[in-house]
Amino acid sequence: MQTCKYCGRLKTLVKSHIIPRSFCEIKSFQQNAPHNALSLPSDSADLKPVKRSIGMCDDELFCKVCEDKFMIYDAYAFKLLHEQGNRRKTLRDEQGQVLGAYYETYDYNKLKLFFISVLLRAGLSDVFFFKHVKVGPYLEQLKDAVDAGAAPASNDFAVFLAYYDEIKRGPILFPPSQKRIQKIKFFYFHIGQVIFYIKIDKRATPQELQPIILQPSGKLVLMTLSHKDPANFDILKGIERIRHGIE
């Protein structure tokens, strides 16, 4: 028995999927990928990509009761973002160039809590893949939201989404990284073909991001993102184009 990192009690721990297994088992990814494997590219030129069992899990995180807290949010996010991908409508500019995609409706509470739970799980894990994710003093706020089943306001842990327009290889997971937008700290995670950015900063969300962050009402917007260099993609320029497309 070990101490559960969520409830703090001494219990038998279970295998916890930090990035849900379902996001790595998308059928369209399997054409060029080995069965039950995913590529983990390294940012070191001296290391080649490696293959490992599908999913990203930790055996030393949670007891079953705490692990089960995330199931409803994992299931909803996968259903919306992948199984119901045909609900997405394409967002184009006046010249017909694709700016992104959007859903007319979605469950803000469930989807926001999914992203919050992934951040929470990654922040508590000692798995090397998540070594750059530190939640520090925000841990209790994240846990309180999950325990209450109530997502915080749109600008608290603000989230916005992007996606790769085309991926030709098998499922690729880059380690979560930090990015500052207008000096505000965000982490971004790859989950299947979707990338989500989540703010972990007590300062206000940049005004420029308002058209695309998750809101309790309105559309769910996903911007297109270049897979060649996601860290340096000009997010604010992309959002400005989306804003005009929405208007």
Domain residue spans of the chain = 70-246
3 state SS for 228-246: CCHHHCCHHHHHHHHHHHH
Structure tokens, 2? 């070990």
Supply the pLDDT for residue 96: 79
Among 110, 147, 126, which residue's Cα sits nearest to residue 56?
126
Which residues neighbour 65 within 8 Å (Cβ) at sequence distance 6 or greater? 7, 11
Element (H, E) at 123: helix 108-124
Strands 220-225 and 159-164: parallel
User: What type of residue is 56?
Assistant: M
Structure tokens, 28? 């369209």
Structure tokens, 50? 């490696």
Please list the pLDDT of the chain residue by residue as tens digits (247 residues).
899 999 999 999 999 988 877 666 544 444 444 444 344 443 434 334 444 444 578 899 999 999 999 999 999 999 998 888 788 898 887 787 888 889 999 999 999 999 999 999 999 999 988 999 999 999 999 999 999 999 999 999 999 998 876 654 445 567 898 999 999 999 999 887 788 999 999 999 999 899 899 999 989 999 887 655 555 556 776 676 676 555 5
Supply the pLDDT for residue 24: 61
DSSP 158-225: -EEEEEES---SS-B-PPPEEEEETTEEEEEEEETTEEEEEE--SSPPPGGGTTTS--SSS-EEEEEE
Supply the pLDDT for residue 164: 74
